[in-house]
Amino acid sequence: MIEVESLQLQLNGRSVLQQINLRAQPGEITVLLGPNGSGKTTLLLCLCAHYRAAQDHIRLCRQPLSSLSYRSLARLLAMVPQDHNPVFPYQVREVILLGRISRVGFWSQPTAQDYEVVENILNILKIQHLADKPYTRISGGERQLVLIGRCLAQEPQVLLLDEPTNHLDFKNQYSILQLIAELARRQQLTVLLTLHDPNMALLFADYVVLLSQGRIAAQGNPRAIITPENMAQIYQLEVEMITEGDRRLLYPKFM
């Protein structure tokens, strides 16, 4: 569970987050939506203890963020960043194994159990065929899967993902979000992720938080929150919605 109460953050004398209150529940997908610069990534960094000033306003799994050591935090929370530029050509199996550091200890050697965890993750993500390939020589979609695998190796209770569909084609966007949803439900993970596409949020989100200029403009059930009126207000773009059965689709309204 993620609990944020009355979070405010200033950077370089500028207010970037104001009165943020939200909860994300285990087994659910909570999506942060908002235009560029609205504070989505900054909020994720606050949850990772990147900004000390924010820690007293955040609880993870009912524990104050300020009370957690970095090792304890790494056992509770894992994050997939928006961009990752690898330097060394580690094998995919080795990249996932790096997620075990908080469980093994920096100077300790991985055990047979740690390697078994990695193999299970390779099977869950269906990337066994990539295990021995250099991480630097696989596709963007495959790299996202490996980063998710590294996070799963931490055995976290909270999973953060910053633009997990960034740079991916349509098929891989859908496949990765579907996988994240399945993992959230199967492992009862609390998942908080940022997206740019409201239609993807309509498909996969259990709960949506709209951010605008560092403030929460609205939050709640996706069907109640992702409306043409709210999208026009947040993105300054007139949109219309098609409804067919249980499905909804937003598209720009051209005059």
pLDDT tens digits, residue range 120-148? 999 999 999 999 999 999 988 899 899 99
Which pLDDT does position 254 carry in this prediction? Answer: 73
CATH of the domain at 158: 3.40.50.300
Chain segment 222-231, per-residue pLDDT in tens: 999 999 999 9
Chain segment 16-52, per-residue pLDDT in tens: 999 999 999 999 999 999 999 999 999 999 999 999 8
Closest CA to 125 of 150, 145, 106: 145
Chain segment 170-214, per-residue pLDDT in tens: 888 998 999 999 999 999 999 999 999 999 999 999 999 999 999
Which are the contacts of 87, defined by CB distance < 8 A and separation ≥ 6? none
* Inter-residue contact 232 to 225 (CB < 8 Å): no
Closest CA to 160 of 37, 65, 74: 74
Domain membership of residue 13 as a residue range = 2-252
Task: Report the number of distinct structural domains present in the chain.
Answer: 1
Q: Tell me the residue type at 145.
A: L
Sign of CA pseudo-dihedral 36, 37, 41, 47: negative
Mean pLDDT throughout 161-165?
93
Tokens encoding 43: 């909020």
Instruction: With cut-offs at 50, 70 and 90, classify the pLDDT of residue 255.
Output: low
Torsion of CA 140, 141, 147, 149, to 10 degrees: -150
Least confident among 55-64, 101-110, 198-207: 101-110
Closest CA to 1 of 84, 87, 62, 79: 62
Sign of CA pseudo-dihedral 193, 60, 58, 218: positive
Which pLDDT does position 195 carry in this prediction? Answer: 96
Chain segment 76-91, per-residue pLDDT in tens: 999 999 877 777 889 9
Q: Measured between alpha carbons, how far is 57 from 3 in angstroms, rounded to an integer?
A: 8
The angle formed by the CA atoms of residues 190, 194 and 195, to the nearest 5 degrees, is 130
